[in-house]
Amino acid sequence: MQLQDYINAGKIASEVRENARRKNHVGSTLEEICNFIEKEIESKGGRCAFPVNVSLNEIAAHYTAEPNDTITVKDTDLLKIDLGVQINGHIADTAVTVCYEPKYDFLVQAAESALREAMAIIRVGTKSSDVGKTIENTVKQMGGIPIANLSGHSLEQYTIHAGKSVPNIWSIGSFSFQSTEAYACEPFVTTPEGSGFVREGKIRNIFSLITRKRTKDEEVNKLIDAIWQKFNMLPFALRWLIPEYNEKTARDLIERSIKNKVVRSYPILVEANEQRVAQAEHTFIPKENGVTVTTI
């Protein structure tokens, strides 16, 4: 494990997250927010581990700006900003929710509190099911409902979801945290009227490579080589392929890559009852007597 890379990536991610928390985004388009944050990451010496997610209201995750996205943040919105920084493929994943509607402040507070309580109990050997139980209990005590089918995850070099899930509810089956792995913990919270589950939406504007196998389509093969060189196996946005390709060509090539099963797309995730969702997230590495939270 390259601990220093994880720590350096976390420092950048933390600074950028806190700047995003303080900034008034009302009136900004989602594309402006994504571009500003992604440029800030690069200006601080990091690289984006995935496109900045700017998920509004009932969209829990996986929305990033389209090219020329005109969606604008309103003064009644709940905006989740989920960002990732990588240094040599070692990732810091962190998120903040900015709330402009006071009646939903409790969702933000519940997500943040659940994250703090989870960080307080984790050390080498802690069971993931105990973390899920802590998050669930904290969220419910604060009047919210945890999203059961969203979770945190283990991290590996150039891999955001590395196989282990850090649950947001008590769950059967568990693993014990190890000092040789990095993890992200990310409570998602919805209202008492929510279902506590997300469903897939129709929008898909985040993508990643599945494989580098050659296809019979030479234009697709050239795109795959370019994606590998720029992003490795990490997620990317359609807007990241512009200006090397015009938008129409980029969309066509991505569709052909998906049909050839060399690229996957990620659908947005929407609260099943279309209730608002808040999120908080840190990346951490367990120690014998606690955790190193890289994104604190």
CATH number for the domain harbouring residue 82 = 3.90.230.10
Helices (H), ranges, 182-244: 218-231
Considering the domain architecture, whether residues 103 and 212 belong to the same structural domain is answered as no
Considering the domain architecture, whether residues 50 and 95 belong to the same structural domain is answered as yes
DSSP state of 59: E
What range defines the domain where residue 136 resides? 3-199+273-293
76-130 pLDDT, tens digit per residue, is: 999 999 999 999 999 999 999 999 999 999 999 999 999 999 999 999 999 999 9
Does the active-site annotation cover 161?
yes
Largest CA distance in the chain: 56
Considering the domain architecture, whether residues 264 and 193 belong to the same structural domain is answered as no
Does the active-site annotation cover 186?
yes
Considering the domain architecture, whether residues 82 and 212 belong to the same structural domain is answered as no
Angle between helices 128-141 and 105-121 (to 10 degrees): 150
pLDDT of residue 86: 98
Is residue 141 predicted with pLDDT exceeding 80?
Answer: yes
Considering the domain architecture, whether residues 163 and 141 belong to the same structural domain is answered as yes
Annotated catalytic residue: which of 82, 112, 136, 271? 82
pLDDT of residue 250: 97
Annotated catalytic residue: which of 93, 112, 136, 271? 93
Does the active-site annotation cover 82?
yes
Q: What is the mean pLDDT of the chain?
A: 97
Considering the domain architecture, whether residues 186 and 242 belong to the same structural domain is answered as no
Annotated catalytic residue: which of 58, 153, 271, 282? 153
C-alpha distances out from residue 36 to 28, 246, 285, Å:
11, 21, 29
Mean pLDDT (whole number) for 127-152: 98
Considering the domain architecture, whether residues 286 and 178 belong to the same structural domain is answered as yes
- How far is 14 from 94, CA to CA, in rounded Å? 7
1: three-class secondary structure by DSSP: coil
Cβ atoms of 35 and 107 within 8 Å: the answer is: no
Does the active-site annotation cover 90?
no
Considering the domain architecture, whether residues 129 and 264 belong to the same structural domain is answered as no
Task: Read off the pTM.
Answer: 0.97
Contacts of 270 (CB under 8 A, 6+ apart): 58, 59, 60, 198, 199, 200, 201
pLDDT of residue 286: 98
Considering the domain architecture, whether residues 166 and 221 belong to the same structural domain is answered as no
Considering the domain architecture, whether residues 285 and 254 belong to the same structural domain is answered as no
Only one residue has tokens 């070099």, namely 157
pLDDT of residue 243: 84
pLDDT of residue 205: 95
Mean pLDDT (whole number) for 241-258: 96
191-240 pLDDT, tens digit per residue, is: 999 999 999 999 999 999 999 999 999 999 999 999 999 999 999 999 99
DSSP state of 268: E
Annotated catalytic residue: which of 161, 181, 247, 274? 161
pLDDT of residue 20: 98
pLDDT of residue 176: 98
Does the active-site annotation cover 117?
no
pLDDT of residue 1: 77
How many separate domains does the chain show?
Answer: 2
pLDDT > 90 in the chain, percent: 99
Is residue 5 predicted with pLDDT exceeding 80?
Answer: yes
Only one residue has tokens 């693993």, namely 175
Q: What is the CATH number of the domain that holds 223?
A: 1.10.10
pLDDT of residue 155: 98
- List residues bridging with 1 in a β-sheet: none
pLDDT of residue 178: 98
Considering the domain architecture, whether residues 255 and 288 belong to the same structural domain is answered as no
- How far is 166 from 129, CA to CA, in rounded Å? 8
Considering the domain architecture, whether residues 278 and 265 belong to the same structural domain is answered as no
